[in-house]
Amino acid sequence: MIDLNVLTQALGDLEDDVVLDMLREFVATAPSEIEALEAVTACQAGMAVVGDMFETGEYFVGDLIFAGELLTDAINVLKPALAADGSMVHGTIIVGTVQGDLHDIGKNIFKSMIESAGFEVVDLGIDVKPEAFVEKALEIKPDVIGMSGVLTLAVDSMKNTVAALKAANIDSKIIIGGNPVTRESCEYVGSDAYTTNAAEGVKICQGWL
């Protein structure tokens, strides 16, 4: 069994070879989906360490970018285990970073994970206007719509997007994610769920189908 604390620390220290070698050995043991999700959560905890180091000035923007790429690589290594048991529920989800926000690391991590869970993902990209969400939702009628944001202003953009979707009578489930989202902001926005954890977000979406 993988040592999750060691994995978290290795990612926090940006030790890419250590992280990826640990995960490759872990996947070779044919772990369960739950065990694989625990490994993902440990990697995300490592990203939180990176964020703390950035805030204290020990890491720089380049380190954040490297960490995001490392986390994406880690998720890709874990993909076979995340989809191993074949019992995943399949569905369609639209994802996008809302208008006014240009951050996509969190969205891309979630996208990679939910694709592994058997969802067909339509990625609208970053700085997505409410109208673009509505247009694509009317076109493909997704099971779920996921909105991501890092900036505080993203919450108002999410609220505007949810209002536009409801005005268009789109009844897809809506989940919001990112640093600024809380239970209170979920209620303010009018979404069905919120998360700051990609693995948790996947479980929520699976529970809807």
How much is the pLDDT for 148?
A: 97
Q: Where in the chain is the domain with CATH 3.40.50.280?
A: 92-207
| 180 or 48, greater pLDDT | 180
How many whole angstroms separate alpha carbon 120 and alpha carbon 122?
7
Q: In the CATH hierarchy, which top-level class contains the domain 4-82? A: mainly alpha
C-alpha 56/C-alpha 65 separation (Å) is 17
User: Tell me, what DSSP letter sits at residue 180?
Assistant: T
Query: What percentage of the chain carries pLDDT values higher than 70?
Result: 97
What per-residue confidence (pLDDT) applies to 54? Answer: 84
* CATH number for region 92-207: 3.40.50.280
Every domain range in the chain assigned CATH 1.10.1240.10:
4-82
Give the model confidence (pLDDT) of 73-129 as tens digits: 998 899 888 765 555 457 999 999 999 999 888 898 888 778 877 789 999 999 999
d(CA 192, CA 209): 14
pLDDT class for 64, splitting at 50, 70, 90? Answer: confident
Q: E strands, 37-187, where?
A: 92-97, 120-123, 144-148, 173-177
Question: Which of 71-80, 87-96, 174-183, 191-200 has the highest average model confidence (pLDDT)?
Answer: 174-183
Our separate counts of H helices and E strands in the chain read 9, 5
Nearest to 120 by CA among 75, 151, 163, 89: 89
